[in-house]
Structure 1
Amino acid sequence: MDFLKLLKSIEELLYELVTWIVFYPLTVVKVLVRPVPMMAYAEAELRDDVDEQYADTVSPPIALLITLFLVHTLEAIVPRTGAAAIPGLLADDNNLIAFRAVAFSIFPLLLAIVYLRQRGTKLTRSSLRPGFYAQCYVALPFVIAFTIGGMIATRGQPVIGLLLMGAGYVWYVAVQTIWQSRDGKVGPVMACLAAIGATLAATAGLVAVTAITGFAIGMVKVP
Structure 2
Amino acid sequence: MDFLKILKSFEDFVYEALIWLVLLPKTLWRIVRRPRQMVTYVQAEQDREGDDRYGDAISPPLLLILCVLVAHVLDLALRKQAAPAMGTLAGALLKSEENLLLYRTMAFGIWSLAGAVWYLRHSRQPIHRLNLRNPFYEQCYLVAPFALAVSISTSLALVGGVLSAVGVGLFLLALLWFCIAEWHWVRERAALGKVHAAVVAGGLVLVGLLANTGLGYVLRHL
Same fold (TM over 0.5): yes
1:67-89: CA deviations, max 9, x gaps?
A: 11111111111116xx6322434
Distance 1:58 1:103, change over 3 A: same
Calculate percent identity across the aligned residue pairs.
Answer: 32
**How far does residue 167 in structure 1 lie from its aligned partner after superposition?**
1.5
1:103 partnered with 2:107: yes
Q: Distance in 2 between matches of 1:148 and 1:7?
A: 36
Alignment partner, residue 196 of structure 1: 202
**How far does residue 118 in structure 1 lie from its aligned partner after superposition?**
2.4
1:206 partnered with 2:208: no
Q: RMSD of the TM alignment (CA)?
A: 1.8
Alignment partner, residue 41 of structure 2: 41
Aligned-partner residue type, residue 176 of structure 1: E
1:131 partnered with 2:129: no
> Do the aligned partners of 2:122 and 2:190 also contact (CA within 8 Å) in 1?
no
Q: Distance in 2 between matches of 1:181 and 1:188?
A: 7
Q: Distance in 1 between matches of 2:26 and 2:5?
A: 31
Q: Distance in 2 between matches of 1:42 and 1:16?
A: 20
Aligned-partner residue type, residue 82 of structure 2: A
**How far does residue 183 in structure 1 lie from its aligned partner after superposition?**
5.4
**How far does residue 212 in structure 1 lie from its aligned partner after superposition?**
2.0
Matches within 5 A, 1:164-183: 164-182=170-188
- Deviation above 4 Å: which 4+ runs of structure 1? none
Aligned-partner residue type, residue 197 of structure 2: A
Q: Distance in 2 between matches of 1:88 and 1:182?
A: 43
Aligned-partner residue type, residue 37 of structure 1: Q
Unaligned segments of structure 1, at least 5 residues: 217-223
**How far does residue 140 in structure 1 lie from its aligned partner after superposition?**
1.8
1:96-138: CA deviations, max 9, x gaps?
A: 1011111110011101222222222222111110111111111
Q: Distance in 2 between matches of 1:183 and 1:213?
A: 35
TM-score between both structures, scaled by the size of structure 1: 0.88
**How far does residue 147 in structure 1 lie from its aligned partner after superposition?**
1.5
Alignment partner, residue 56 of structure 2: 56
Aligned-partner residue type, residue 166 of structure 1: L
Alignment partner, residue 26 of structure 1: 26
Matches within 5 A, 1:68-87: 68-79=68-79, 84-86=82-84, 87=91
Aligned-partner residue type, residue 16 of structure 2: E
Unaligned segments of structure 2, at least 5 residues: 85-90
Q: Which moved more, 1:191-200 or 1:118-127?
A: 118-127
TM-score between both structures, scaled by the size of structure 2: 0.88
Alignment partner, residue 219 of structure 1: none
